[in-house]
Each structure stands twice: as C-alpha cells, then as structure tokens.
Amino acid sequence: MKSYEMLVNGEWVPSRSQERREIRDPGNGEILASVAEGNSEDAERAIQAARSAFDQGTWRKTPAQERARFLFKIAQGIRLSARELATLEVKNCGKPLAEAEFDVADAAACFEFYAGLATKIHGETMSVPANSLSFVVREPIGVCAQIIPWNFPLLMAAWKLAPALAAGNTCILKPSELTPLTALELGKIFIESELPKGVLNIITGTGPKVGEILASSSQVDKVAFTGGTVTGRRIMSLATGNLKKITLELGGKNPNLVFADADFEAAVDGALFAAFANQGEVCSAGSRLLIEKSIHESFTEALLKKIPLIRLGHGLTPGVKMGPLVSKAHLEKVESYVKLGVSEGAELLCGGKRPEGKAFEHGFFLEPTVFDHVKPQMRIAKEEIFGPVLSIIPFESEEEAIQIANDTEYGLAAGVWSKNIARAHRVVQQIRAGITWINTYHPTYNELPWGGYKQSGMGRELGLYGIESYLETKQVNVNLDEAPLGWYS
C-alpha cells in the first residue's frame, strides 16, 4: 500500500494533525493508499507558501518562454507515465480503462495547449490623447485556489493548473478527498520538472476543513471550483470576504433531443453514450432524453436492445464499458433517486438495481437504468442524479422540445439529433446551455470554452477563455509632454 503526503512549498509534508485517510478501489474495496488528511492549519500553510512564491518569488517574473518550457515538461512527464496514471485513475475512481487512457492523454494535451498560449498573452496600445502613450498589459491574478471533483481527477487538475501557471499565478490544488491519487502523482511530475518552490501546492482533505479555508482566505486572490451547485453557492458566499475572482463549473440536467428525422442508429448510440459514459458521473451527461413521439416507441426499443452491450465490471477488466460508482454513499444516493422515480409514477424499463455475481459483491455497481414516460416536473427530470439513470421524455413539436429542454435551473450542455441541419441550428440557438452538440455528444476540446448558463456556473474554462480567467488587466498611461501641467498656475 502506497503512502502519500501533501505538497507544500516544494516538500512532501504530513498533516499537522497526523491524521490519514484510506483510499479504496470502488470496484473491489481494495485499499490503494494511505493519504495525509489535511485540515485548516495545512490549508493556511499552503496559502502562505503560495503567497510568498507569488509576492517574493520568481515565477510571475519568469519569461513566458520559460513558463512554457515548464508546462511542456509536465506534458511530457504525463505521457511518459501514461500507463501508470491511467491504471491508478481506474482504481481510484472506477472508470473503464479506455476512458482513463483518454483522460490522461487529454490532460497532457491541455498542458501543451497552455504552454503554447503562455507566449501569446498580449496587450494593446493607444496614442490618445495626443500627448500620452497609453497601453494595456495583462498580469497574473496572484494566488489561485483550485478545488476539483472526483469524476475526472487528473483531467480536472490539468484544466485548472495549466492556464493558471501559464499566466504566471501560484496555485493551491485541492483534489477530492475520495480521489486524490493521480493529482498527487502529478505533483511528483511537477517536482521532477524543478518548478520553483511554492508555485504549486497540493492539499488533501475535506471541503469543510480545507476547501472552505481556501475559499474564504483574504490571502487567496481567486478560487476556481468544479462540482455540485450547492457547494458552488457556498464557495461563492465565502469568496465575498475579499471579493476574490471566481470561476464555477457546476451541475447540469442536460437535455438530449432526438427528432424523427435523425440518423436512427447514430442517435441510439449517441443517447447511450451521453447517459452512461463514465457511469453517468459527468456534469454534462445527457440524462434527459427527449424523443419525438412518432419514433418514441421504436427508439426506446432499440435503446433497450443495446443496454446489454454496456458490460459492467472493474475498469481494468477487458471489455468493460461501465465501472462502479465512486463510493457507497454515492451509490445509495443514486438508488434513492431510482426509488423516487418509481414513486413519482415513471415507468422503470431496466436497471435500477445492483448487479449480482461475485465480481460485483465488493464494489459499488448499479445497472444502467432507464425510465420512460417521465414528466418534466418529476424530480428525476429536474435534479442532477450524477449516475447511470436516464429519463425519457416524449415531445410533440419542435417548440415543445425547446420548452422542455429549457425548463431547468441548469444550463450546462445539450445535444440535438436531426438530419435537417437548419432545424438543428435553429434549436441549438434557442437552448440556453453553454456547450451544445449536433449529431454527437460529449466531445470536449482544450481549444474551446467550457462552462454553463444559469445555475451551471459562471466563467469559462479551456480555450483562450481559460487563460483569460487567470489574468488581470492593467492600464498604463505615459505622459509625453515634459512641461508642467499648470493646473494650479
């Protein structure tokens, strides 16, 4: 069993309290590692390290070309350790190996993308008024606290760290207490790259003991959070103490609209992938499947015929397409929504129970679950379940589909399936969501912005928007007239 400490000021240190947490494989209950359990003292220690590294250190003054070289080193380190990182990701959070391998490659690509952008942070100049040279420069915000979730541990660390470091900030990363292992392994890669001390700090522990300290500290200049909307509101409230900058990527109850003229087979495959990729533990999951009534019955039948192809098991087992949920508590939460859906009157077509067999007895598995004839006002159609639960909602017209799609407090993602490209564009323009797909679902690109409308958060990550969110804008005015102003003459 491996033992991990926390990274503070370039050193691996235990928790001040000496407390530790056992990290287990959600697929079989095996103990993977022992990790230092941080508290408020540890959070404060990391804040001071990051603060000193920013205020007195060299990182923000390091030439952009040099910062870029550091990030390219990180990407190379990830690629060299790809097999080990992917295997560890599977064991820690449960996802199938193929998905973990994609996440690791994408994390490396994210560091490479922002390494390239580090040298392209530009300002602007103006020569107005006549006797002045005025220009705008972009500067790092300062100390950035970054709190990431358990469903994409390594990838979310990359999404946060790469743009922040490219811009010249110092960082405190808090991974989920459930899935800290690949983030801590990433810390080792940073140390090997000889990043200056204090530029990256990694603190493990719970939200109340660590996350809230980071969000409320007057020594932290920005907080970036990915996770649930309730926690996002709490972080937003805590951050008002010093009006720190905030980026929030929160929940979703995302509609996936299938019109009668869609490519039938492609839409069936897309609907399954939208709902059940990563066990449905995805903020952008297409958990509301809106089907035009004329194909509702045939589409649902085709969907159910393919459900058995979603093979359950440990993520390292060849051929597995869906792994366990992340924890017992989360499994029980998702099961409670299944019971709620039945009590609300939705028709349970398949799943809703734990699979039987020796391979599943020590893991947190739930069969792919499909409800039909779901009413838009039902809680299973309104609340984020964050598991392999799909709600089918029939619709009559394009106008009704749009109305149902937008009838949610969230606005993260949406999909539209139709061969009528004019209709697809027309519908997408009217759906209030930050990420939309036409005739596909789930592709994510480092080059394009990620974030949502309404209660799905504020700000954007990735793309040019991602680095903009870690920069301040400064106006500089130079007087070219050497004569006295004469205002008081």
Instruction: Say if CB 218 and CB 241 are below 8 A apart.
Output: yes
- Residue 304's CB is within 10 A of a number of other CB atoms, namely 14
Q: How far is CA 189 from CA 184, 249, 466, in A?
A: 9, 26, 23
Looking at the DSSP assignment, which residues form a beta bridge with residue 405?
none
- The residues annotated with a catalytic role in the active site are 249, 283
Q: Which helix (H) or strand (E) holds 398?
A: helix 398-406
470 is written with which tokens?
A: 């870690």
Find the radius of gyration of the CA atoms of the chain.
24
Two tokens at 101? Answer: 């391998």
Specify whether the CB–CB gap between 247 and 229 falls below 8 A.
Answer: no
Strand order, beta sheet including 124-126: 124-126, 132-140, 471-479
User: What is d(CA 384, CA 281) in angstroms, rounded to the nearest whole number?
Assistant: 10
What DSSP character marks residue 218?
T
Nearest to 13 by CA among 142, 205, 151: 205
In degrees, rounded to 5, the angle at the alpha carbon of residue 308 between the alpha carbons of residues 306 and 310 is 85
